[in-house]
């Protein structure tokens, strides 16, 4: 039987002198198709930076007012560099400081404004999708502690393909007990999302080195974090006053 298969393959090759070129052409088309799918999964905004900046500031006001904070969103020397990078990321601009295929992890001190920036980002992003009925998934903005509870109640698989921004990443318990079994819900989710190639964003007070330590996720998950995220540091002290 195997010999018959082998003879059949030899026959195909002998009657197709361009066998190699045919396969190369096929694989080129397959790769081009996969790249198109990757772009289609991304929401790429056709906006100039000044327009994006104005919209971001307005949605920043919405974010603050929804928190019952009676003050305007201020763009300054600490948060504007991050807003510029978010713009470059959303316009798929090669001037972005990291890898456009990875997600963004904003890191910085407590209270410096990371959460408000990414919550504003999600408000603007989701409003555009709803307003123009675009065929893109909405972003779910969720704290790591709440996400862990959701994983325990449902399963990591239910969150493996959702578009999420994980706020306060690393603040949740790294292990939980389930009827005597030790579970690592967020670590399991990160592995699934990494394998699926699902883009993930987040905010954290910790460095990649700290998150990769044995007190947090360990070296193996740390290696996946390096593959999944552009770690961008936001400067500045606490804005909570």
Helices within the chain (DSSP H only):
2-15, 19-41, 49-66, 80-90, 114-131, 144-153, 185-196, 208-211, 218-228
241 residues of the chain, pLDDT tens digit each: 445 555 576 777 767 778 788 889 999 999 888 877 776 778 899 999 999 999 999 999 999 999 999 999 999 999 999 999 999 999 999 999 999 999 999 999 998 999 999 999 999 999 999 999 999 999 999 999 999 999 999 999 999 999 999 999 999 998 888 777 788 999 999 999 999 999 999 999 999 999 999 999 999 999 999 999 999 999 988 877 6
DSSP 230: E
DSSP 158: G
Q: Which of 75, 82, 60 minimizes the C-alpha distance to 233?
A: 82
Q: Cβ distance 199 to 103 under 8 Å?
A: yes
**pTM, full prediction:** 0.86
């Amino acid at each position: 039987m195997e010999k018959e298969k082998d003879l059949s393959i030899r026959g195909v090759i002998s009657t197709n002198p361009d066998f190699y070129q045919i396969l190369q052409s096929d694989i080129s088309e397959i790769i081009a198709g996969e790249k198109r799918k990757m772009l289609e999964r991304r929401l790429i905004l056709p906006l100039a930076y000044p327009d994006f900046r104005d919209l971001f500031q307005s949605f920043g006001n919405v974010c603050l007012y929804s928190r019952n904070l009676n003050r305007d969103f201020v763009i300054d020397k600490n948060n504007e560099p991050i807003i510029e990078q978010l713009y470059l990321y959303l316009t798929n601009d090669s001037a972005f400081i990291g890898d456009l295929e990875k997600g963004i992890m904003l890191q910085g001190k407590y209270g410096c404004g990371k959460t408000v920036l990414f919550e504003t980002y999600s408000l603007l992003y989701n409003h555009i999708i709803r307003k123009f009925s675009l065929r893109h998934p909405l972003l779910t903005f969720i704290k790591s502690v709440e996400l862990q509870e959701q994983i325990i109640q449902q399963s990591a698989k239910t969150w493996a393909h959702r578009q999420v921004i994980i706020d306060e990443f690393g603040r949740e318990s790294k292990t939980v007990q389930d009827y005597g079994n030790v579970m690592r819900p967020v670590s399991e989710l990160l592995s699934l999302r990494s394998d699926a190639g699902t883009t993930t964003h987040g905010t954290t007070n910790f460095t990649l080195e700290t998150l990769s330590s044995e007190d947090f996720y360990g070296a193996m998950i740390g290696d996946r974090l390096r593959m999944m995220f552009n770690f961008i540091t936001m400067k500045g002290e606490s804005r909570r006053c």
